[in-house]
């Protein structure tokens, strides 16, 4: 066995000569075979400790020099004894000396952390060519910069050293840990220079991590190579948000880990995290209204700020920035572990896309100090009311109350309402171009044709809102058959249906007499939790009575199936749901159990009717706006209205790079899809021709990544029992040390066992020898 130091092996030197003896006609090569097995050392300097192995010998010699003298009379017995026992004594001495020397040598070797480095001639377990998979943590927390260097750049530095330290013939893959994970180099590359170049160009994302997906990606990468030996090196800050696994996902992650272990992959985690004292972040930014309409009321922009430190940060400045123009500023104290709300009011004057930002003073992790909101401001909200029960008399028609409530100035010359209402009869529905509208109200519509259902389905796919009122003319069997959406996951759910609930029998408590009416059920606002009725939260009792005093003597029995995603906005006091909402495709569906007019209920006569149906319209239309704001890592997916489908789309990313966006044709509609949202910030989509348009999108980081707390080592060792965890403090890193980080402990565990055995052996031997004295 030859001993070689790693420094001697230069990965840049030309590939090793063929090992075998090659014979060609006319010429022959004899190459010197490399040593079949070599030992490398992670800490070669500690090999000087081997000198300590001479200690027992020195002690022995020293002991022999330090003797006492004794004039002895009974010399003849002593001489006789030594004649008989000399061989045995000498043997015992040598044995003991050997054991002691070995003991010290093993301990010194163990400290030098050796590993086997076979050059392939011996098909042993260690030292064959290795497929090394570098997994760099690409989550936002890796942008945390201490002493002018971000964790990610340190990870790259370490990875660079690791690649340089890798042996010739080792193949390297690079994966970025994230959500979704990114495979930088999938096919294992034996060209280390290329890998290093690729590493140089890497930058962290601002996203969070999907550990499970990353592990399965690593598995795929491992499968791509047939090298027998595999090593996976994670370079991460071990942040809690990245490495935390939900209890219900734990078994899946464990399975993924086991799969890696089945591949015989050696998993090593190098911890690059440092002690983080504090971090502040804007963890939430929201508008009070789902849809902003030009000239509407003041919008309230509310942000929530948080400090993840141990001390209160006093006087932190939070500033509102709209479209790059600095706005008002607030000074707040951020106590640790609490979210502090900050509100700004703003009036959006111009229609079009606006970007609202709330900024904090920058700290060491600047990404989460700003949060953005793309706010498309509409000229007006377009609502289509489909009247299922037309009557020329005022307030006799099904939609008269509704039209008046949504657009109170309709027909007058006052300032225009934010909602423009169009009324159509049931028969006209199929001829309307639904894409033009934001919300469609179906009021007491008896049935819908298949074409109409499909049109509405397409409308929902584009993010439109739908409100369905009940009534006498409505045919429950038709509704249940063609309009009911089904349960998520069922085959029915895949169809074009959209209603959150099945219609049961009509519940009638009678309204002939005042007594009967007094017994009719009222509205239960269920704690005003739903956005539709949230405006009533904290309102005075008499105002609230305008909603809760509504009597409804007739209503459909809405039957929400088990496992539905439907949510109750209002219920009746007898417990049945009155208003249900459910997201469908990208849009939102609201189903009301009673009528839009006063045929079944007193609601249109109550003051609560106009504000609640307006909220209903805005809420239903919110699907259009939510497409503009995504979390980092989530794809941008914006529906294009029909007729405006552009030929091309270019996305300008926050880092200035321009990337083409995908335009997906689906069901007659076009969608813009862009999935490289790995950075936080504003993404500008340039559409056209034929019509040049610009759309703003905002991607925001997950607040989980702002929390600098680190993963608990006990949890980690429970999840990844056979992984090696090591840490790097950021000091100079040698190629050898980096490349062998995974091999540490490979031999030294055995050596330490040997030391233990030798210690026991030495004592036993010493006892056994001493026993006979």
Partner 1 sequence: MAEYQQYLQPQTLASVEGLGLQARLIVEGYVAGMHKSPYHGFSVEFSQHREYAPGDDVRHIDWKVWSKTDKYYLKQYEEETNLLTYLLLDASASMGYASEGNVSKLQYGQFIAAALSYLVLQQQDSVGLCVFDDRVRRWLRPSGQPSHLKELIRVMDSEPARERTGLGPVLHEMAERIGRRGIVVLISDLLDGEAPELLAGLKHFRHKGHEVVVFHVLDPAEVDFPFRQVTKFKGIELPEELLTDPTALREGYLAELRTFTEAVRKGCRLSDIDYVPLRTDQPLDVALTGYLATRSARTRKGQRRA
Q: Is 325 in the site for partner 1 (CB under 8 A)?
A: no
Q: Does 323 bind partner 1 (CB under 8 A)?
A: no
Q: Are 385 and 422 in contact (CB under 8 A)?
A: yes
Candidate list 1, 25, 26, 72; residue touching partner 1; CB under 8 A: 72
- 88 versus 277: smaller Cβ distance to partner 1: 88
Part in contact with partner 1 (CB under 8 A); list of ranges 62-70, 157-165, 285-293, 530-538: 62-70
Q: Which of 18, 24, 32, 67 binds partner 1 (CB under 8 A)?
A: 67
- Least separation in angstroms between CB 102 and partner 1: 21
If one asks whether residue 27 binds partner 1 (CB under 8 A), the answer comes out as: no
Tokens of 402: 């509704």
Shortest distance, CB of residue 53 to partner 1, whole angstroms?
22
Inter-axis angle of helices 75-111 and 55-65, nearest 10: 150
- Please identify, using beta-carbon distances, which residue of 69 and 349 lies nearer to partner 1: 69
Q: Site for partner 1 (CB under 8 A): how many residues?
A: 28
In the bound complex, what is the minimum distance in angstroms from residue 88's beta carbon to partner 1?
Answer: 8
Residue of 189, 208, 211 lying closest to 135 (CA atoms): 211
Q: Which stretch binds partner 1 (CB under 8 A): 189-197, 208-216, 659-667, 764-772?
A: 764-772
Are 505 and 569 within 8 A, CB to CB?
A: no
Contact 762, 103 (CB under 8 A): yes
Q: Which is nearer to partner 1, 31 or 85 (CB)?
A: 85
Q: Which is nearer to partner 1, 26 or 770 (CB)?
A: 770
427, burial (CB in 10 Å: exposed 0-12, middle 13-18, buried 19+)? exposed
Of 131-139, 155-163, 663-671, 765-773, the window that binds partner 1 (rule: CB under 8 A) is 765-773
Q: Is 415 in the site for partner 1 (CB under 8 A)?
A: no
Instruction: Give me the 714-753 binding string for partner 1, x by CB under 8 A, dash otherwise.
Output: ----------------------------------------
Helix, strand, or coil here: 771? helix
Nearer to partner 1, 544 or 769 (CB): 769
DSSP state of 313: E
Whichever of 12 and 773 has its CB closer to partner 1, that residue is: 773
Q: How far is the CB of 79 from partner 1 (least distance, A)?
A: 6
The answer to the question of residue 768 lying near partner 1 (CB under 8 A) is no
Q: Least Å distance between CB 711 and partner 1?
A: 57
Q: What burial letters (b/e) apply to 237-261, b meaning 16+ CB within 10 Å?
A: bbbbbbbbbeeeeeeebbebbeebe
Rounded least distance, CB 104 to partner 1, Å: 21
Nearer to partner 1, 90 or 317 (CB): 90
Of 538 and 770, which CB lies nearer to partner 1 in the complex structure?
770
User: Helix/strand/coil (H, E, C) string of 489-543?
Assistant: CCCHHHCCCCECCEEEEEEECCCCCHHHHHHCCEEECHHHCCCCCHHHCCCCHHH
| Per-residue CA distances from 543 to 346, 465, 546 (Å) | 26, 28, 5
- Residue 68 contacts partner 1 per CB under 8 A: yes
Q: Which of residues 526-555 bind partner 1 (CB under 8 A)?
A: none
Cβ 99 to partner 1, closest distance in Å? Answer: 16
Residue 491 contacts partner 1 per CB under 8 A = no
What 3-state DSSP class applies to 768?
helix
The encoded tokens of residue 582 equal 């459910």
Instruction: Note whether 767 binds partner 1 by CB under 8 A.
Output: no
3 state DSSP class of 103: helix
Q: How many CB atoms lie within 10 A of CB 1?
A: 9
Rounded to a whole number of angstroms, the minimum distance from the CB of residue 76 to partner 1 is 7
Stretch of residues binding partner 1 (CB under 8 A), selected from 70-78, 108-116, 365-373, 725-733 = 70-78
Establish if 427 lies at the interface with partner 1 (CB under 8 A).
Answer: no
Q: How far is the CB of 269 from partner 1 (least distance, A)?
A: 52
Q: How far apart are the first and last CA of the chain?
A: 41
Estimate to the nearest angstrom the gap between the alpha carbon of 66 and the chain centroid: 71
SS3 370: strand
Give the pairing type, strands 693-700 and 629-631.
parallel
**Nearer Cβ to partner 1, position 424 or 769?**
769
Cα torsion 516, 519, 521, 525: sign:
positive
> Shortest distance, CB of residue 69 to partner 1, whole angstroms?
5
Q: For the CB of residue 103, give the shortest distance to partner 1 in the complex, in Å.
A: 20
Those residues whose C-beta lies under 8 Å from the C-beta of residue 773, and which sit 6 or more positions away, are none
The DSSP code sequence of 373-436 is EEEEEES-EEEEEEESS--SSTTTSTTHHHHHHH-TTTTSSSSPPSEEEEEEEGGGGGGS-GGG
The least distance separating partner 1 from the CB of residue 70, rounded to whole angstroms, comes to: 5
Cβ(652)–Cβ(686) below 8 Å:
yes
Query: Please, which of residues 74-113 interact with partner 1 by CB under 8 A?
Result: 74-82, 84-85, 89, 92-93
Minimum CB separation from partner 1 for residue 49, in Å?
A: 28
Distances from the Cα of 368 to the Cα of 181, 272, 400, angstroms: 21, 20, 48
Q: What secondary structure does DSSP assign to 463-496, as a single string?
A: T-EEEEE--TT--HHHIIIIIB---TTSTGGGSS
Nearer to partner 1, 75 or 505 (CB): 75
Figure out which of the listed residues 1, 24, 27, 63 binds partner 1, where binding follows CB under 8 A: 63
Residue 73 or 514 having the CB closest to partner 1:
73
Binding site for partner 1 (CB under 8 A): 63-64, 66-82, 84-85, 89, 92-93, 769-770, 772-773
């Amino acid at each position: 066995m030859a001993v070689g130091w790693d420094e001697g092996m230069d990965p840049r030197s030309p590939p090793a000569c063929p090992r075998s003896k090659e014979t060609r006609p006319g010429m022959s090569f004899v190459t010197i075979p490399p040593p079949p097995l070599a030992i490398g050392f992670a800490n070669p300097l500690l090999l000087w400790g081997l000198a300590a192995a001479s200690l027992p010998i020195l002690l022995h010699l020293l002991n022999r020099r330090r003797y006492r003298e004794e004039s002895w009379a009974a010399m003849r017995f002593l001489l006789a004894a030594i004649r008989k026992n000399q061989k045995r004594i000498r043997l015992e001495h040598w044995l003991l000396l050997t054991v002691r020397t070995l003991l010290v040598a093993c301990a010194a070797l163990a400290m030098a952390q050796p590993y086997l480095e076979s050059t392939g001639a011996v098909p042993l377990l260690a030292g064959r060519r290795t497929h090394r998979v570098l997994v760099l943590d690409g989550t936002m927390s890796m942008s945390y910069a201490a002493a002018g260097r971000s964790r990610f750049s340190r990870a790259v530095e370490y990875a660079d050293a690791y690649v340089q330290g890798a042996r010739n013939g080792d193949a390297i893959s690079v994966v970025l840990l994230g959500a979704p994970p990114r495979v930088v180099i999938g096919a294992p590359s034996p060209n280390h220079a290329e890998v290093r170049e690729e590493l140089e160009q890497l930058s962290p994302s601002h996203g969070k991590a999907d550990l499970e997906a990353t592990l399965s990606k690593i598995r795929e990468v491992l499968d791509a190579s047939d090298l027998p030996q595999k090593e996976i090196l994670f370079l991460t800050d071990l942040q809690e948000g990245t490495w935390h696994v939900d209890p219900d996902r734990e078994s899946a992650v464990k399975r993924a880990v086991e799969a890696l272990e089945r591949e015989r992959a050696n998993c090593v985690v190098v911890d690059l995290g440092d002690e983080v004292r504090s971090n502040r972040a804007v963890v939430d930014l929201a508008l009070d209204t789902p849809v902003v309409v030009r000239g509407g009321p003041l919008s309230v922009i509310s942000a929530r700020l948080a400090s993840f430190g141990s001390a209160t940060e006093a006087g932190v400045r939070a500033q509102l920035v709209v479209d790059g123009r600095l706005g008002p500023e607030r000074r707040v104290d951020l106590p640790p572990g609490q979210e502090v709300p900050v509100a700004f009011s703003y009036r959006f004057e111009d229609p079009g896309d606006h970007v609202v930002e709330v900024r904090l003073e920058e700290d060491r992790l600047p990404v989460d100090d700003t949060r953005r909101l793309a706010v498309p401001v509409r000229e007006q909200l377009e609502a289509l009311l489909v009247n299922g029960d037309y009557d020329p008399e005022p307030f006799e028609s099904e939609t008269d109350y509704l039209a008046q409530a949504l657009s109170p100035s309709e027909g007058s010359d006052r300032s225009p309402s934010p909602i423009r209402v169009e009324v159509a009869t049931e028969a006209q529905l199929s001829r309307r171009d639904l894409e033009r509208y934001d919300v469609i109200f179906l009021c007491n519509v008896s049935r819908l044709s298949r074409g109409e259902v499909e049109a509405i389905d397409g409308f929902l796919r584009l993010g439109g809102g739908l409100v369905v009122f009940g009534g006498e003319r409505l045919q429950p069997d038709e509704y249940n058959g063609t309009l009911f959406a089904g349960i998520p996951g069922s085959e029915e759910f895949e169809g074009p249906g959209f209603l959150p609930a099945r219609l049961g029998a009509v519940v009638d408590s009678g309204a002939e007499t005042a007594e009967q009416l007094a017994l009719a059920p009222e509205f239960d606002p269920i704690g005003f939790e739903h956005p539709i009725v949230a405006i009533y939260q904290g309102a005075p009792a008499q105002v609230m009575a305008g909603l809760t005093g509504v009597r409804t003597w007739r209503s459909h029995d809405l039957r929400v199936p088990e496992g539905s995603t439907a949510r109750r906005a209002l219920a009746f006091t007898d417990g049945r749901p009155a208003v249900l909402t459910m997201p469908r495709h990208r849009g939102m569906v609201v189903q009301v159990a009673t009528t839009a007019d006063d045929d079944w209920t007193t609601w249109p006569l109550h003051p609560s009717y106009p504000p609640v149906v307006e909220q209903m319209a805005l809420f239903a239309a919110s699907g259009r706006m939510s497409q503009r704001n995504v979390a980092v890592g989530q794809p941008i997916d914006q529906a294009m209205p029909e007729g405006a489908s552009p030929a091309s789309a270019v996305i300008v990313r926050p880092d200035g790079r321009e990337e083409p966006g995908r335009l997906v044709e689906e069901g007659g509609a076009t969608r813009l899809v862009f999935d490289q949202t790995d950075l936080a910030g504003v993404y500008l989509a340039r559409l056209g021709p034929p019509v040049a348009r610009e759309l703003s999108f905002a991607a925001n980081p997950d607040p989980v990544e702002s929390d600098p707390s680190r993963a608990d080592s006990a949890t980690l060792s429970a999840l990844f029992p056979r992984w090696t965890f090591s840490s790097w403090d950021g000091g100079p890193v040698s190629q050898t040390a980096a490349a062998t980080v995974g091999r540490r402990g490979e031999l030294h565990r055995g050596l330490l066992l040997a030391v233990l055995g030798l210690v026991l052996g030495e004592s036993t031997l010493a006892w056994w020898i001493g026993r006979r004295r």
